[in-house]
């Protein structure tokens, strides 16, 4: 009955956006101990904005077994509305998922495209089934996705072995989103020197992390 909790949720969401510094924002953030170093890293290169609060928009529950999640819409006087994921903790408190709110990655998307890291790098991305295949044809069992970022330009083609059991959660999430504009948290890396051809910018999907843009830390309830 999430509507009965609206006032409490609004107080937490407003506190999250009104926070003047990292310490205060962490008070309203989910998994604060794990997230602190990520937040410190992020705000070294991103300003911590404080939009002028207006009110809480819609709130809806999220069906995720073992968790108490909700989506909520924050409405501002000077900014477009922002959709957030809220978690109700075991002690009845509400916390905002900061990582998904900023689509946090270990590198900015533009930096990832520029640096072309060989080490698997965690990124929150949007994925769709690729309409292209390598000129030589995809290897047996290889699936290609078109990957883009929610807040930056540029896209890449990413491949994974659909027969590898570790990618079953990835396939399930893609299927539930009809393979179109599916939010994912992936570890991506460049496989080596750029080749020629239609998919010369392809990257390898090394792993999938969490569900959607959420990192699920064990069962909460």
Chain segment 137-192, per-residue pLDDT in tens = 556 788 999 999 988 899 999 999 999 999 999 999 999 999 999 999 999 999 86
Distance CA 50, CA 65 (A): 33
Give the model's pLDDT for residue 142.
Answer: 87
pTM metric for this prediction: 0.86
The contacts of residue 85 (CB under 8 Å, 6+ apart) are: 62, 69, 70, 71, 72, 96, 97, 100, 101, 213, 214
Residues 216/87, Cβ–Cβ less than 8 Å: no
pLDDT at res. 98: 97
DSSP H or E stretch at residue 94: strand 94-96
Q: How far apart are CA 19 and CA 25, in angstroms?
A: 5
Whole-number pLDDT of residue 25? 98
pLDDT per position as a tens digit, 185-202: 999 999 865 444 445 558
Secondary structure of residue 32 in the 3-state scheme:
helix
Distance CA 41, CA 35 (A): 10
CA-based torsion, 87, 206, 113, 176: positive or negative:
negative
Sign of CA dihedral 206, 110, 146, 80: positive
Question: How far is it, in rounded angstroms, from Cα 39 to Cα 187?
Answer: 19
So what's the pLDDT on residue 210?
Answer: 86
pLDDT at 89 over 80: yes
């Amino acid at each position: 009955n999430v509507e009965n909790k609206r006032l409490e949720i609004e107080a937490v969401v407003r506190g999250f956006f009104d926070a003047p510094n990292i310490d205060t924002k962490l008070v309203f953030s989910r998994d604060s101990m794990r997230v602190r170093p990520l937040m410190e890293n992020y705000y070294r290169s991103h300003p911590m904005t404080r939009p002028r609060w207006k009110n809480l928009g819609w709130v809806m529950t999220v069906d995720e077994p073992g968790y108490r999640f909700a989506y909520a819409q924050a409405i501002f006087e000077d900014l477009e509305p922002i959709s957030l994921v809220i978690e109700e903790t075991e002690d009845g408190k509400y916390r905002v998922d900061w990582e998904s709110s900023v689509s946090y990655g270990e590198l900015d998307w533009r930096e990832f495209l520029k640096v072309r890291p060989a080490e698997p790098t965690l990124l929150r991305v949007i994925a769709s089934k690729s309409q292209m295949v390598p000129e030589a044809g995809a290897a047996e069992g290889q699936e290609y996705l078109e990957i883009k970022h929610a807040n930056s330009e540029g896209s890449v083609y990413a491949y994974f072995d659909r027969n590898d059991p570790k990618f079953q959660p990835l396939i399930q999430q893609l299927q539930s989103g009809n393979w179109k504009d599916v939010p994912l948290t992936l570890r991506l890396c460049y496989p080596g020197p750029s080749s020629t051809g239609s998919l010369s910018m392809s990257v390898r999907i090394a792993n999938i992390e969490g569900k959607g843009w959420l990192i699920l830390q064990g069962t909460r309830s």
